[in-house]
Every structure is written in C-alpha cells, then in structure tokens.
Structure 1
Amino acid sequence: MTIEIGKQAPDFELLASNREKVKLSDFKGKNVVLYFYPKDMTPGCTTEACDFRDQSEQFNELDTVILGISPDPVERHQKFIEKYGLPFLLLADTEHYAAKEFDVWKLKKNFGNEYMGIERSTFIIDKSGTLVKEWRKVKVKGHVEDALIYIKENLI
C-alpha cells in the first residue's frame, strides 16, 4: 500500500508495551505522532525516545498521542520504557506489517553489508485519521521540536 498525505492512514493492529493489542483507529479523535525507529536501546533511538518523553506533556496538551514502533518484541519495549521512563506506548512490529504499510521497511547498507530495516520516519495523523505530515530519513537532533511545532501551527 502506498500512503499519501491527505488520505486516511492505514490502520493496523499491533501488540503494545502494555501487552494489549492496539489499533491506530483506536486513537481517532486525537492527533497521533507515529514514529518508526530501528531498535530499542541504541544511541539514536534512545535519544529520540527521550526527546519525545521530555516533550510528552506539551504533546498531551495539544491532544496528541505519541506511539513508537520498532521490530523489537514487547519484552524489549518494556525494558526500554522502564530504563528511560517513557510515558507512551511502544508497539511491537515484529512481522514488519505496519512498517511495510507506511513504506519504512527498507534495504539498508552499513559498512558494506545490506540488510532490511526500519528507515527512521515520523507521521502525523490528525483527529479524523488522515495522514497530514511525514518526515522520512529523520535526523534525531531537533526532530521532536519540529513535530511539536507542526502540530501547534497546523492542528490546534
């Protein structure tokens, strides 16, 4: 499926860090920051998660839910949340279902090796479930602030 700005975001159901199944459509009526990241406990992913944690109150005040998605299993997500005090759900996309729906499961190259993995990306979905903004190949520094500014300027 090809996702497109201005169209309904693809719905999916994944197991969350609280061990409950979560659908994207469960959050209709709220804005959603859906961010895909490669792996729990790695430097860039930890920085990004902690940046979202540090701004989570501001997102809450803007009626916005933060959801992180990686291929890690729920148990690893729980350890990541406990270690860094993350106040939002992390979803386990172990079969890459949501990553493929959002076209972030990509061929990557690192030190001459090729492998499939998550391309760090963030999507903003409005209260009606419409995809309104996307960032692909995200650079972590300053990214959370960009997402917060976008919501303040466009969705309140």
Structure 2
Amino acid sequence: MGSSPHIGSRVPEFTLAGGVLDGDAFERRDYALAEARGRSLVLAFYPGDNTAVCTKQLCSYSSGLETFEALDAEVWGISPQGVDSHESFARAHGLRMPLLADPGRETARLFGVAAPGIGVRRAVFLIDADGVLRWKHVALLGATFQSADTLADQLSGIKTK
C-alpha cells in the first residue's frame, strides 16, 4: 500500500471509466479529476458493489446528494469492480452518484488505499475546488463508514476557509 496524500497537498490526477444512473438510463463515460475543478469533490473508495456495508454507505451518500450539491460538491464512488457491476449496483439501489471502476487499483494505489486481500480500504477524501486535499478518513477495518452528515460538516468547514 502506498502513502496517502497529505492534507493541504494537491491530489494525484486520474481518469477512470464509470457511469451514473439518470432516470432509467445509466450514462457511461470517463471521469477525470481535472474536470471536477471549480467544485469540491468527495471521493469515496469502497471495497465492493452489493456488499452490506458498502451498500449502506453508498445509499446514504446517494440519499444525501442534495446536501452535497448545496455545498457545491460532487460525490464519486470508486471500487475495483467494472462498470457493468456498477450499473447493476446503481440500478438495484437507486444510487444517483457516479460510480467509477478501478479494476487494476491504480487510483487506489495513488491514494494509498489499495490493500492486499480486501482489494481497497474504505476511505473518503474531501478535495477542494482547486484540487487540494482538505480532509480524509481511511478505515483500518472498513466495517463502518463516515456518515453523509459528517462529510457535509467537513465540507462546510472547507467552504468557510
């Protein structure tokens, strides 16, 4: 596992294939960190689609999207599964944020959250509009996750700085 970016540093650039559920359509495209500039970004790394804790986590973030949008922030979920798996996961649970595929775990390695055995550690990175890391949480065990309210509070702090 590599080292995680430090608070106050620019986060590494990446581009990943993904998709987002929009009504009945699952719109597939590439997502590049550079395109998120100008807005805050919540990067939520999670171990796997359709697992109990990951499903609770992503459902809570999806149901809180209006709160994130009010803070001028986007939420992207990232895991090692492919885009087909993400589409099935999004459709099964009505997930409304982009889900990105990192099958080789290159992006997980860039963020220091690739882990042997489990694949990816559950982690959240809050990135400001300029691409600078402002807050992070990397779970050791991954049995729990940071709530949407906690993330919104942290994003509010970023906005007031």
**So what's the TM-score if we normalise by structure 2?**
0.87
Deviation at 1:149, TM superposition (A): 0.8
**Count of aligned pairs:** 149
Question: Is 1:131 matched with 2:133?
Answer: yes
Which segment is superposed worse, 47-56 or 140-149?
140-149
The equivalent residue for 1:148 is 152
The equivalent residue for 2:6 is 4
Selected match of 1:46 from 44, 49, 55: 55
Aligned to 1:151, the other structure's residue is in SS state helix
Deviation at 1:142, TM superposition (A): 5.3
Residue deviations 1:51-81 (CA, integer Å, cap 9, x gap): 1011110101110000000000000100111
Deviation at 1:87, TM superposition (A): 1.2
The equivalent residue for 1:88 is 97
CA RMSD of aligned residues (A): 1.5
Aligned to 2:7, the other structure's residue is in SS state coil
Residue deviations 1:96-150 (CA, integer Å, cap 9, x gap): 011000000013xxxxxxx251110000000000011000105535522211111
**Structure 1 portions without partners, runs of 5+:** 108-114
Question: Stretches of 4+ moved more than 4 A in 1?
Answer: none
Aligned to 1:20, the other structure's residue is in SS state strand
**Structure 2 portions without partners, runs of 5+:** 20-26
- Asked whether the 8 Å contact 1:14–1:91 carries over to 2, the reply is yes
Aligned to 2:64, the other structure's residue is in SS state helix
Query: Percent same amino acid at aligned positions?
Result: 30
- Asked whether the 8 Å contact 1:44–1:140 carries over to 2, the reply is yes
Structure 2 letter corresponding to 1:87: R
The equivalent residue for 1:55 is 64
Aligned to 1:67, the other structure's residue is in SS state strand
